[in-house]
């Protein structure tokens, strides 16, 4: 398959899979679940609860991802993955820390702030890809990525007028920065793996999720959340089916995501996942006929400009250097 067509296919699959994943995840975490108890007088009382077992959620997702990648490798065997286990252990740790930090940040910052903050993910991925992954980028690449990031931030930003509260830097913002650093470390290690061992996307997916599942399993036992989740699942048996569907949706997305990491590198993946948020919001604006603010128009222009120039100059570089694999 031509490299351009392969990129379009993988990017489209990531967009679609994670779009449905986001809908299902919101349904699971935002819904109110009703259950029945009997009081001291023997009368039935109906109570409501919410899903709060996020370690269990991620554990199930990683376990399904690992199972799917293992099955694919059984059906289509590949050459032995000679990547150092320490690389995969590092990826698992930094990925889990990034997830924990970004979710913990929601206790101190609103969700839109988290989304905007995480939109800067390509920047640490690029910087640490250079420092750890020994990757080099032309100067214009930095400019194009910066255009995309700034454009997404402006597009997601909503002006709520003058706030009476002082703008402060607190624990929530610090956690977001730590999450971005962990994202960058993950990308840097992935870049080094791609340069040294060149494993397939399925091999990277299997190893990374395998170690993540192991670490999360230990965390569930130590924190006691695993037992509380089983109690919740006993009260709400429908949650199991919803989580399995959620896991399969993410597994499909991760399959293409890791293929893209293997084929094009973690920086390209971070740009794709960042612009996915932009196009999701833009699509809803177009479908429902909502008007764009001036900042959103500027942001949209910057995103499309960054994507266009990056694609145009990358294509030109590829034509000049047929052996270039970046």
The radius of gyration of the chain from alpha carbons, rounded to an integer in Å, stands at: 21
Give the tens place of pLDDT for each residue, 140-160.
888 888 888 888 777 766 554
325 occurs within a structural domain: no
Q: Which of 18, 103, 99 is nearest to 52 (CA)?
A: 103
What's residue 161's pLDDT?
46
Number of domains forming the structure of the chain: 1
251 occurs within a structural domain: yes
What's residue 176's pLDDT?
85
Contact 276, 14 (CB under 8 A): yes
Above pLDDT 70, what percent of the chain?
A: 83
Q: Mean pLDDT, to the nearest integer, of 103-110? A: 74
326 occurs within a structural domain: no
Q: Mean pLDDT, to the nearest integer, of 310-316? A: 63
240 occurs within a structural domain: yes
pLDDT above 60: residue 326: no
Confidence of residue 5 (pLDDT cuts 50, 70, 90): confident
pLDDT above 70: residue 298: yes
Q: Mean pLDDT, to the nearest integer, of 221-231? A: 95
Other Cβ atoms within 10 Å of 245 Cβ, number: 14
60 occurs within a structural domain: yes
What's residue 321's pLDDT?
40
85 occurs within a structural domain: yes
């108890």: which residue's tokens?
37
Confidence of residue 23 (pLDDT cuts 50, 70, 90): confident
Q: What is the mean pLDDT of the chain?
A: 82
**14 phi/psi in degrees, rounded to 5:** -65, -45
Task: Show the domain range for 272.
Answer: 3-320
Helix or strand (DSSP H, E) at 25: helix 3-30
219 occurs within a structural domain: yes
pLDDT above 90: residue 218: yes
CA 29, 31, 32, 33 dihedral sign is negative
Give the tens place of pLDDT for each residue, 235-272.
999 999 999 999 999 999 999 999 999 888 888 888 88
């Amino acid at each position: 398959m031509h490299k351009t067509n392969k990129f379009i296919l993988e990017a489209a699959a990531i967009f679609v899979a994670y779009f449905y994943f986001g809908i299902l995840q919101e349904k699971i975490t935002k819904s109110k679940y009703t259950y029945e108890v009997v009081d001291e007088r023997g009368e039935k009382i109906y109570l409501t609860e919410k899903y709060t077992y996020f370690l269990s959620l991620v554990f199930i997702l990683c376990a399904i991802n690992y199972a799917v990648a293992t099955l694919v490798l059984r059906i289509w065997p590949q050459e032995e993955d000679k990547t150092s286990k320490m690389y995969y252990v590092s990826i698992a740790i930094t990925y889990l820390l990034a997830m924990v930090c970004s979710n913990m940040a929601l206790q101190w910052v609103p969700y839109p702030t988290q989304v905007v903050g995480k939109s800067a993910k390509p920047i640490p991925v690029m910087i640490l890809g250079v420092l750890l992954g020994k990757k080099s980028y032309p100067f214009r690449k930095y400019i194009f990525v910066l255009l995309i990031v700034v454009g997404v931030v402006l597009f997601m930003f909503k002006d709520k007028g003058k706030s009476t509260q002082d703008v402060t830097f607190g624990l929530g913002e610090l956690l977001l920065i730590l999450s971005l650093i962990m994202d960058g470390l993950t990308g840097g290690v992935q870049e080094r793996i791609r340069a040294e061992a060149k494993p397939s996307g399925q091999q990277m997916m299997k190893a990374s999720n395998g170690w993540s599942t192991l670490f999360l399993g230990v965390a569930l036992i130590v924190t006691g959340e695993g037992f509380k989740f089983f109690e919740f699942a006993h009260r709400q048996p429908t949650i199991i089916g919803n989580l399995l569907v959620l896991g399969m949706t993410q597994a499909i997305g991760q399959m293409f995501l890791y293929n893209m990491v293997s084929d094009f590198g973690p920086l390209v993946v971070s740009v794709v996942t960042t612009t996915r948020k932009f196009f999701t919001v833009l699509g809803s604006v177009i479908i429902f006929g909502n008007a764009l603010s001036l900042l959103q128009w500027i942001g949209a222009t910057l995103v499309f400009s960054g994507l266009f120039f990056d694609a145009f100059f990358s294509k030109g570089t590829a034509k000049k250097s047929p052996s270039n694999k970046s």
